[in-house]
Amino acid sequence: MKTSRARSGHASAGLSAETCWRAVLDRDALADGTFVFGVLTTGVYCRPSCPARRPLRRNVRFYETPGAAEREGLRACLRCKPLDPSAGKAKLAERLCRYMEANSGQKITLTTLSKVAGISRFYFQRLFTAEVGVSPAEYLQACRFAQFKQGLRGRSVTDAWAEAGYGSSSRVYETARSRLGMPPRSYRAGALRQRLRFTTFDTALGKMMLAATAEGVCNVQFIGAGEASVLLQSEYPNAELVQDDDGLAAWAARLREMVQGKSVSHGLPLDIQGTAFQQKVWRQLREIPVGQTRSYSEVAAQIGQGSAARAVARACGTNRLAVVVPCHRVVHQNGGREGYRWGVDRKRKLLQAESLRQD
């Protein structure tokens, strides 16, 4: 839009000032990139989705580009960062994730999603995959499976998969074993027939819990006093939880040595459950040599999705196998050690111990 038109409150490309103002009031992330609005009283310009308090209409002007706003003497908002292209993409991807989560039981196609986003199918696919770390189809599959998993709590397996949007039970059973760690009917019964052995033990960095299924170790975490059973029961409320300190003593000893830096490998059988993207990230983390670190961006590049650094960080944050899947070896681009779910101090000490022993 031309500056003169912005002053008169009109928008270009078929958008009226009224339409723009409605987008601002709704904090519509889908309108980001189509225009910016300036606030004359503060001297800043923002994205339509800016989280800041809404200004009075009489103090607002609309501009087609940030450059047009800056020629009017306005400066970029520090909260919504209208000059940062990645900020707008992230908000759009987040909104589309929420859309898929809310409608996962319905038939959703790439065409549907691209229309909701207001961009071409090709560009939508690239943008979403880069920002989220998985394709739209993979994310929708994860949403449906999450709904199916939740539905198992109070419905039959057949009702649960039908309400989750699956066309047949075969599609469910294809992925149920790897994601649930058991048949759907067992999970529906609260893992009634699933036997989980666990033990707790002290390490140089605090108390840890180790839990294992028949397939292998499924959970290793630093915990507080009395947290082991609570953590396990939150996922499998009716599971047969068996504290097996003697049977798991050898595995616990290996983990204790890893925490102390006396060993660089665990050699444990693993039962790792997660989404396709999480599995891909966790597999790459286990490839990082002891004594070395990688940035989130480097891990993203190594799995072939160079723009998915934020998604890699989320996968690290959901890792349930402390030390075994070494998410502590992933750092920020500037080398910062923050962002470890079990505490920055533990992360620093783990890296320090590993740097002294690299065999």
Interatomic CA distance for residues 147 and 94, integer angstroms? 18
Query: Which of these, 26, 15, 9, lies nearest to 61 by C-alpha position?
Result: 9
Question: What type of residue is 191?
Answer: A
- The CATH superfamily holding the domain 3-83 is DNA Methylphosphotriester Repair Domain (3.40.10.10)
Q: List, in sequence order, every residue forming a beta bridge with 76; answer none if it has no partner.
A: 45
Interatomic CA distance for residues 285 and 291, integer angstroms? 13
20 is catalytic: no
**Interval 70-99: pLDDT, tens:** 999 999 998 888 887 666 676 677 778 878
Fold (topology level) of 195-249: Double Stranded RNA Binding Domain (3.30.160)
Domain 85-188: which CATH number of 2.40.40.20, 1.10.10.60, 3.20.20.10, 1.10.1760.20: 1.10.10.60
Note down pLDDT in tens along the chain; length 359 residues.
Answer: 333 334 434 444 445 788 899 889 988 776 777 889 999 999 999 999 888 889 999 999 999 888 889 999 999 998 888 887 666 676 677 778 878 877 777 778 888 888 887 777 887 888 787 777 678 888 887 777 776 666 655 555 555 555 555 555 555 555 555 455 555 555 555 544 568 899 999 999 999 999 998 778 888 999 888 888 888 888 667 678 899 999 999 999 999 988 887 766 667 888 877 777 788 899 899 989 888 899 999 998 898 877 788 888 888 988 989 999 999 999 987 777 777 889 889 999 999 888 876 54
Interatomic CA distance for residues 112 and 61, integer angstroms? 32
Helices within 261-342 (DSSP H only): 276-285, 296-302, 309-317
Interatomic CA distance for residues 303 and 280, integer angstroms? 7
Q: List, in sequence order, every residue forming a beta bridge with 241; answer none if it has no partner.
A: 196
Whose structure tokens read 């009075």?
A: 56
DSSP at 248: T
DSSP per-residue letters across 172-207: HHHHHHHHHSS-HHHHHTTSTT-EEEEEEEEETTEE
Token couple for 12: 């270009």
Query: Which of these, 53, 130, 43, 152, lies nearest to 85 by C-alpha position?
Result: 130
**Interval 172-220: pLDDT, tens:** 555 555 455 555 555 555 544 568 899 999 999 999 999 998 778 888 9
The dotted CATH code for 276-355 is 1.10.10.10
Parts of the chain belonging to CATH 3.30.160.70 = 195-249
Parts of the chain belonging to CATH 3.40.10.10 = 3-83
Interatomic CA distance for residues 82 and 48, integer angstroms? 9
Token couple for 343: 């505490």
Q: Within 13 Å and on the Cβ side, how many CA atoms surround 156?
A: 4
Q: Which of 46, 50, 77, 80 is catalytic?
A: 46
Length of the chain: 359
Asked whether the whole model's pTM tops 0.75, one would answer: no
